[in-house]
Structure 1
Amino acid sequence: MSEFYIGIMSGTSLDGVDIAFCEINNESFKLLCSASYPFDKRLKNEILSAINKPVTLKIVGELDTRLGKMYADCIESFIAKSEIDKNTIMAIGLHGQTLWHEPDSKHPFSMQLGNANVITAKTGICVVSDFRQKDIALGGQGAPFAPAFHQFLFSKLNANVAVLNIGGMANLSILGDTVTGYDTGCGNVLMDYWVSQKNGLSYDKDGEWAKSGLVNEDLLKQMLQEPYFLKEAPKSTGRELFNGKWLKKQLENFAKRNANTVYMKSRDTQATLLELTIRSIANEVKKSMAELLIVCGGGGRNVYLMKRLKDELAGVEVVLSDEVGVSSEFMEAMAFAWLAHERIHKKCVKISSVTGASKDSILGAIYE
Structure 2
Amino acid sequence: MMSKIGSAQGQYYIGLMSGTSADGIDLALVEFNDSVQKPRLVASFYQDYNGTISDKITALYQPGGNEIDRAFHLDVELAQLFSQAIKALLSQEKLQASDIIAIGNHGQTIRHRPSGNNPFTLQIGCCQTLATLTGIRVVGQFRRKDMALGGQGAPLVPIFHQQLFTDQTDANFIVNIGGIANITFLPKQGSDNTVLGFDTGPGNALLDDWFLAHHHSSADKFDKAGAWASTGQVNQGLLCQFMKDEYIQSRAPKSTGREYFNLDWLTQQLSIFDKAAELALSPADIQATLLAFTAQSISADILALAQQGKVYLCGGGVHNAALVAALEQRLTATISTFEVNTMQAVNLDGDILEAMAFAWLAYAFDHDLISNMPAVTGASASCTLGNTYLP
TM range (shorter): over 0.9
Question: What residue is the counterpart of 1:13 in the other structure?
Answer: 21
Residue-by-residue CA offset, 1:44-94 (whole Å, 9 max, x unaligned): 112222223414222221111111111111111111122123212100000
Q: CA, structure 1 residues 11+264, in 2 after alignment: closer, same or farther (shift >3 Å)?
A: same
2:93 to 53, 62, 82: 82
Question: What residue is the counterpart of 2:209 in the other structure?
Answer: 193
Q: RMSD of the TM alignment (CA)?
A: 1.4
- Cα drift, residue 157 of structure 1: 1.3
Aligned counterparts of 2:389 and 2:302: Cα–Cα separation in 1? 38
- Match for 1:323: what amino acid? A
Corresponding position: 1:124 with 2:135: yes
1:47 to 34, 54, 57: 57
Question: What residue is the counterpart of 2:241 in the other structure?
Answer: 222
Following superposition of structure 1 onto structure 2, how do residues 114-263 of structure 1 map, counting pairs within 5 Å?
Answer: 114-176=125-187, 178-200=194-216, 201-259=220-278, 261=279, 263=280
Question: What residue is the counterpart of 2:42 in the other structure?
Answer: 32
Following superposition of structure 1 onto structure 2, how do residues 341-356 of structure 1 map, counting pairs within 5 Å?
Answer: 341-356=363-378
Following superposition of structure 1 onto structure 2, how do residues 53-64 of structure 1 map, counting pairs within 5 Å?
Answer: 53-56=63-66, 57-64=68-75
CA contact (8 A) 2:235 2:289 kept: yes
- Match for 1:250: what amino acid? Q
- Cα drift, residue 179 of structure 1: 1.4
Residue-by-residue CA offset, 1:106-164 (whole Å, 9 max, x unaligned): 00110000001111111000000000000000000000011111001013213111111
Aligned counterparts of 2:327 and 2:234: Cα–Cα separation in 1? 15
Partner of 1:66, secondary structure, is: helix
CA contact (8 A) 1:141 1:234 kept: yes
Question: What residue is the counterpart of 1:280 in the other structure?
Answer: 297
Aligned counterparts of 1:138 and 1:22: Cα–Cα separation in 2? 29
Question: What residue is the counterpart of 2:5 in the other structure?
Answer: none
Corresponding position: 1:23 with 2:42: no
Residue-by-residue CA offset, 1:152-204 (whole Å, 9 max, x unaligned): 10132131111110000001101136311100010000000000110134111
Extract structure 1 runs of 4+ deviating beyond 6 A.
none
Structure 1 runs not aligned, ≥5 long: none
CA contact (8 A) 2:146 2:372 kept: no
CA contact (8 A) 1:3 1:25 kept: no
- Match for 1:189: what amino acid? A
**Which segment is superposed worse, 48-57 or 182-191?**
48-57
Percent identity (aligned): 39
CA contact (8 A) 2:108 2:124 kept: yes
CA contact (8 A) 1:155 1:175 kept: no
Residue-by-residue CA offset, 1:303-362 (whole Å, 9 max, x unaligned): 111111111101210100011111110000000000000001122214111001011101
**Which segment is superposed worse, 6-15 or 53-62?**
53-62
Aligned counterparts of 1:248 and 1:53: Cα–Cα separation in 2? 17
Residue-by-residue CA offset, 1:15-43 (whole Å, 9 max, x unaligned): 11111101113412110110211113212
Question: TM-score by structure 1 length?
Answer: 0.97
CA contact (8 A) 1:7 1:333 kept: yes
Structure 2 runs not aligned, ≥5 long: 2-9
**Which segment is superposed worse, 147-156 or 343-352?**
343-352
Aligned counterparts of 2:167 and 2:281: Cα–Cα separation in 1? 48
Aligned counterparts of 1:130 and 1:53: Cα–Cα separation in 2? 22
